A and B are shown apart, each in its own frame.
Chain A
Amino acid sequence: MMRKALAIAAVFGITAMALPAFAETSAREPKDVHWSFEGPFGRFDQEQLQRGYKVYHDVCAACHSMNLMSYRNLGQKGGPFYDPKYPNPNDNPYVKTIVKDFKVPDIDTDTGDAIKRPATAADAFVKPFPNTYAAAAAYGGAAPPDLSLMVKARENGLRYVYSLLTGYATAPAGLTIPAGRYYNPYFPSDLGSAWTGKGPVPTGGFIAMPFQLTPNRVTYDDGVGATTEQEAKDVVAFLAWSAEPHADERKDLGLAVMIYLLIFTGVLYASYRTIWRNIEH
């Protein structure tokens, strides 16, 4: 029995070892920060999501699209502006107010002309650029990536994005920084060719985005102090929610399912012991 348990433990242990460490990266270890929504019992903090949306809206949205998001999502269950009084997010007054600021491209069905019409809650987030080529052209060839799934698309994504946003540092002497690029120790890359200083090649890389989240870059409506760290933490929370808007629902259902399965497993075990009680085996 013991040997079996050890064998099973070894299988899972070695599998677990194999999963996270895929490559040697030359980026600094992300900062150790934590959010309310981590772990099976963690849930999003709605006020933090609202602040995070504000950071995205006021800062990030100037360059970064979120193609998988629609305005209605902001008012859906679990969203930053969800209000139980308005189960249909299209009726949500916050969402209605937010969309007033946006115009979306459309076709006039009477004339066939390309027009801009006021956005509705059903519309996708307005893109800062019509396409990635336009975005790349505006930023020296580096198109700002879409942020819809950003925290899932990077290893240790929450802490990585947070560290990247807050981790800009003065480049060490001996590092030649290309024009239009900024040194960030958390941005994974190989700086060997740009390094002429003494000692080992610095970790990190050159990123086309300059430092954005200066203190008080946004003014929070709820009076929370807008430090760099607070802004980064809030926007990462918003990005985490946007990457998987049903994460809270998933965990709620998961807890119920686990309790159900535990009871069901117990019932089956009791049935098994009862049925087999007279069988010597």
Chain B
Amino acid sequence: MSGPSTYEPKTGIERWLDTRLPIIRFGVDLLDFPTPKNLNYWWTFGGILAFCLVVQIVTGVILAMHYVANADLAFNSVEHIMRDVNYGWLIRGIHANGASMFFLAVYIHMFRGIYYGSYKAPREVLWILGVIIYLLMMATAFMGYVLPWGQMSFWGATVITNIIGSLPVIGPAITTWLWGGFAVDNPTLNRFFSLHYLLPFVIAGVVGLHIWALHVPGNNNPTGVNVKSKEDTVPFHPYYTVKDGFAVAVFTLLFASFVFFNPDGLGHPANFTPANPLVTPNPIVPEWYFLPFYAILRAIPNKVGGVFMMFASIGFLFILPWIDFAKTRSMRYRPTARVFFFFFVFTCLVLGVCGAHEPTGHPFGHADWGNFLDADINSYVWLSRIFVAYYFAYFIVITPLLGLIETPLPTPESISSPVLPQGAAASPEKKG
């Protein structure tokens, strides 16, 4: 995709094809792509995510052969898959838990990108494409969760489409377009199914761009130092195919333990009751991977304000490359930034916990010790407000400010230098 190609066609057919469609060259260059030799296991999540996408598309296509997108039939068609389709329980178990695994992997991938400064020049476009993939994943996962047409499917769809409807000017039009009527109903289910089938291929397309944008500047690495020479890199294959392969295998152990031994553990019992517009489940909660955003939404007392903040929480990711002024990429050499980063990860986890609980619930004991003026400080809504403040402060204040005032530790000369034994003379043959 970039850099000088190492491919030399050896046979006549290869030479003939290479001047017409250099597809073998393309494949060989992908496999030979020079990759920093110091990538740690946090870098394997790109490969894990590619694996997740393929798994979701393959299992999804099979499920679509048996699923019926009709409000009267959808719930029973899913149960038909679980009961009567050969290994339908397996295919569906993989697809439903695969969504959770996909998000687990993407969150680790994103936090890794932030920690090691992988969004900084010249990788801004790579990063933005990643955020677009994340948004597409959220839309796809949300619509997929609606398809079984259980209680939580239906009411989740109702809540989210109403949230979008509260946006000024464009909101009502988008909601009508999503509903296809006056409420969440059969037309909604039909178009969600259509879009749920479409969007994964859009994701696959943007993933192609994401990989393209990766192959122009090449991988970042844990030191954040640019690749200086050939000694700093190894060919992608076999070095990273085997390392990513090992990581994917470990990941499938976790994945399989959910699919085979706790297939409903990440779901909600209410979704085993068919959708009923007349009975509202209490509480309505989204899937775990949306809980932090749900907490942000509910933390703001004003509905439009909450929606605005929820979108802004992702919007800041788009401008992250331009609000971080630090020249040092990796937080390995930014001890202060690192502390704030780990607290940011903690913030996202706490917001997830807040999103899972009733806003009025007490996080710290049952006593009403938190009553202060007319607010109950010991409540999940106040806990989420505190952490929402940190979430946004991280982007608005902490990241720009630290970039200006923090003195980073000295960074290594090159990728190869820090791995040499302390005090030992650099011996060229050891560099790889």
Contact = CB atoms under 8 A, between A and B. Distances in A.
A114 interface: no
Main secondary structure, interface of A, reads helix
A11 interface: yes
A258 interface: yes
Interface in B149-207: none
Interface in A258-281: 258, 261-262, 264-265, 268-269, 271-272, 275-276, 278-281
Interface stretch (B245-253, B298-306, B368-376): B245-253
A14 B257 contact: no
B243 A272 contact: yes
A250 interface: yes
Given A21-B356, A21-B357, A271 B242 contact: yes
B358 interface: yes
Contact of B242 (A23, A67, A157, A275): A275
A264 B268 CA distance: 33
Interface in A65-79: 67-68, 73
Contacts of B60: none
The size class of the interface chain A forms with chain B is 35 or more
A152 B246 contact: no
Contacts of A262: 253
B333 interface: no
A154 B256 contact: no
Given A17-B353, A154-B269, A244 B89 contact: yes
B129 interface: no
B82 A246 contact: yes
B256 A257 contact: yes
Interface in B273-296: 273, 282-283, 285, 288, 291
Interface string B346-360: 100110110111100
A179 interface: no
B123 interface: no
A222 to B, nearest CB: 27
A249 B272 CA distance: 21
B348 to A, nearest CB: 10
B234 A279 contact: yes
Interface stretch (B23-31, B259-267, B314-322, B398-406): B259-267
Contact of A246 (B76, B89, B246, B268): B89
B83 A279 contact: no
A258 B243 contact: no
Interface in B22-67: 37-38
B419 interface: yes
A7 B111 CA distance: 12
Given A19-B266, A271-B242, A14 B76 contact: no
A15 B266 CA distance: 10
Given A40-B261, A250-B89, A281 B37 contact: yes
A68 B79 CA distance: 8
B349 A11 contact: yes
B414 to A, nearest CB: 13
Contacts of B419: 280-281
A8 to B, nearest CB: 9
B131 interface: no
Contacts of A15: 288, 349, 352
Given A19-B265, A269-B246, A280-B430, A258 B82 contact: no
Interface in B219-245: 234, 238-239, 242-243, 245
Contact of B256 (A148, A244, A261): A261
Contact of B246 (A154, A243, A265): A265
A253 to B, nearest CB: 7
Given A149-B273, A271-B242, A22 B256 contact: no
Contacts of A243: 272
Nearest to B274: A146
A279 B239 contact: yes
Interface in A15-58: 15, 17-19, 21-24, 40
B172 to A, nearest CB: 31
Contacts of B89: 244, 246, 249-250
B246 A245 contact: no
B4 interface: no
A89 B350 CA distance: 51
B396 interface: no
Contacts of B431: 280
A245 B239 CA distance: 44
Nearest to B76: A68
B113 interface: no
Contacts of B342: 7
A123 B352 CA distance: 45
Interface string B117-154: 00000000000000000000000000000000000000
Given A68-B79, A272-B246, A153 B272 contact: yes
Contacts of A246: 82-83, 89
B36 to A, nearest CB: 9
B366 to A, nearest CB: 9
Nearest to B415: A281
Question: Which of A11, A14, A253: most chain B Cβ within 10 A?
Answer: A11
23 contacts: A7-B342, A7-B345, A10-B349, A11-B349, A17-B353, A18-B352, A22-B268, A22-B358, A23-B357, A67-B76, A152-B264, A153-B273, A250-B89, A253-B260, A254-B260, A257-B256, A265-B249, A265-B250, A268-B242, A268-B245, A268-B246, A272-B243, A279-B234
Pairs A-B, 3 closest by C-beta atoms? A254-B260, A153-B272, A265-B249
Given A261-B253, A272-B243, 13 more contacts: A10-B349, A18-B352, A18-B356, A19-B265, A22-B356, A40-B261, A68-B76, A68-B79, A157-B269, A246-B89, A265-B249, A268-B249, A272-B246
Interface of B: 37-38, 76, 79, 82-83, 89-90, 93, 234, 238-239, 242-243, 245-246, 249-250, 252-253, 256-257, 259-261, 263-266, 268-270, 272-273, 282-283, 285, 288, 291, 342, 345-346, 349-350, 352-353, 355-358, 361, 416, 419-420, 430-432
